Amino acid sequence: MRERYAVWAPEAERVDVHLGVDGDRIEPMAPEGDGWWSVDAEPGDGRYAFSLDGGDPLPDPRGRRLPDGVHAASALVDPARFSWTDDGWKGCPLKGSVIYELHVGTFTAAGTFDGAIERLDHLVDLGVDVVEVMPVASFPGQNGWGYDGVAIYSVHEPYGGPTGLQRFVDAAHARGLAVWLDVVYNHLGPVGNYLPQFGPYFTDRHQTPWGVAVNLDGPGSDEVRAYFVDNVRQWFLDYHLDGLRLDAVHALHDESAIHLLEELAALAEDLGTATGIPRVLVAESDRNDPRTVAARGSGGAGGQGLDGQWADDVHHTLHVLLTGETQGYYADFADPQALPKVLAHTPFFHDGVHSSFRGRRHGRPIEPAITPGWRFVASLQTHDQVGNRATGERLSHLAGRGRAAIGAALLLTSPYTPMLFMGEEFDASTPWQYFTDHEEEWLAESIRTGRQAEFAEHGWSGNVPDPQDPGTVEASTLNWADLGDPERQEFLDWYRTLLRLRRELPTVRGAALGDGAVARSGDLLLVRRGTIEVLANLADTPGRLPVPDGSELLARFGEAVLTYSGEVELGPQSTALLRAPLPEITGEIPRIVV
């Protein structure tokens, strides 16, 4: 059977395809027009690479598999050959979901999709709805975070390649779990990126933190945009993914009338309608702009139409509350108004106010009636906020288990879509550190030097783990034996309880921006949402809070006793959830007594 090979190389005068593992069978390709070249040929062992104007063979920019690494030939993959068993899967919308972020390479000791499948039942028992997988596009070496991927159509071979990802998604759907994938469209990694040799995929008209930007609005950009649009289509249709998390969309510089994000949102909506399965797009954006998730409109009106976006201001506010850290970009969130603002009214502390870290005003206000809280993904921990610390400490390592439990109660009763980071739910003993596997020593040393400088800006010093040391990956791999620790089991039970109550209690599940109220006195904290109260004591000494008569203790972590005198006595670093009668004036918070 002959296969059709095609590649976009608009500036080439001659293109050949090299076939076979050794690339010794060469077939000339013919121009099709608009910069495309093609040929039909016998595939042999399925390996192939393209040569431009007699140059070295290069992997296919749209290749689905790189079995021998990012510098070697691509391999043919027929995604239709996989036998799916998820015909009854109906999908999972963003609204009402709880997300669990994991890194395939360190989620289990196996570091593969098949290894991760073995732990899916744990996630079902935990009570989450969505598994968000960090990037799996092929990148140099074996170990890495995935944000230096260079072949966005290909699935990283050490994880299990394309069929490994299909098995993982199929297994997740069988257990009622949706799967999202983190994708990086704002840049490619520095090693193995052959796109510039094929065409104008990048432009120096715009700059990003990683160098020149992707060419989304210059000459030749129609095909560049199609490269990303078709990639989204691949993930949804060939891999049955339910959603994508789009990395750092503020670095997608696009001055076109229809921004790429709006184009992707339209595609996801169309595919969802056609298949009957919701296709979700969530952006990571540094802009604090609700227009990212505002509905698309006609005549140029409206927003970009994505389903959701990350809300880092919620993380930063909770992190400062629980750890006391105020260096770097945490400084603004020590403001006493930060906590009541982000827990009750808006995910954006910076909603047009001054940002000391940026040295200017930042953000735009939201209107809760138009943009509900569930469109914002909030967290206590993420790969960014843990792994980009000097030694990868988790929240509990910094603040203690009691304060981490308080944070969980505040997050999981919030009006936002919560996201957990792997191992957070059982207070994993392992850190999660930055690791790479580059062959180029100049690049490895550049990363070491750059991260040391960045850490110094945050006031972090000491020994920083070497990203290139295999021991850094090993140290960052979840130790599932932690579940044998009774205290960690108690912590896991707390997360299970909070997630169960979130599902069962309409006041929590349907919490709306503007409906909550927050009161704080020193280390004592009370958050009220309708009839549900979260009470917390951040101190190392006992405290007590008044509650309405007839209150019912639903759950606690640490010491919490509901007394007959209308108070809750809280032990050091303890928290409790209560169902309480509505006060006479809706939204009134009882006086805090210390």
Residue 292, CA distances (Å) to 95, 302, 309, 364, 365 in order: 16, 10, 7, 11, 13
Taking a C-beta distance cutoff of 8 angstroms, is the pair 262, 304 a contact?
A: yes
In the numeric block, the tokens 């001659």 are attached to: 14
CA distance 511 to 410: 12
Residue 359, Cα to own-chain centre: how many angstroms? Answer: 27
Amino acid (one-letter) located at 210: W
Choosing from 242, 284, 312, 425, the catalytic residue is: 284
Query: What are the structure tokens assigned to 494, written together?
Result: 């707390």
For residue 284, indicate whether it is catalytic: yes
Query: Coil, helix or strand for 8?
Result: strand
CA distance 259 to 255: 7
Amino acid (one-letter) located at 514: G
**Backbone φ, ψ for residue 242 (5° rounding):** -95, -20
Q: What residues contact 449, with CB distance under 8 A and at least 6 apart?
A: none
For residue 247, indicate whether it is catalytic: yes
CB neighbour class for 22 (10 Å; exposed up to 12, middle 13-18, buried from 19): exposed
Taking a C-beta distance cutoff of 8 angstroms, is the pair 348, 288 a contact?
A: yes
Residue 349, CA distances (Å) to 311, 323, 339, 362, 493 in order: 10, 18, 9, 9, 32
Burial 101-120 (b: 16+ CB within 10 A, else e): bbbbbbbbebbbbbbbbeeb
Choosing from 132, 247, 424, 482, the catalytic residue is: 247
Q: What residues contact 267, with CB distance under 8 A and at least 6 apart?
A: 229, 232, 233
SS3 letters for 433-456? Answer: CCCCCCCCHHHHHHHHHHHHHHHH
Taking a C-beta distance cutoff of 8 angstroms, is the pair 101, 132 a contact?
A: yes
Residues with catalytic roles = 247, 284
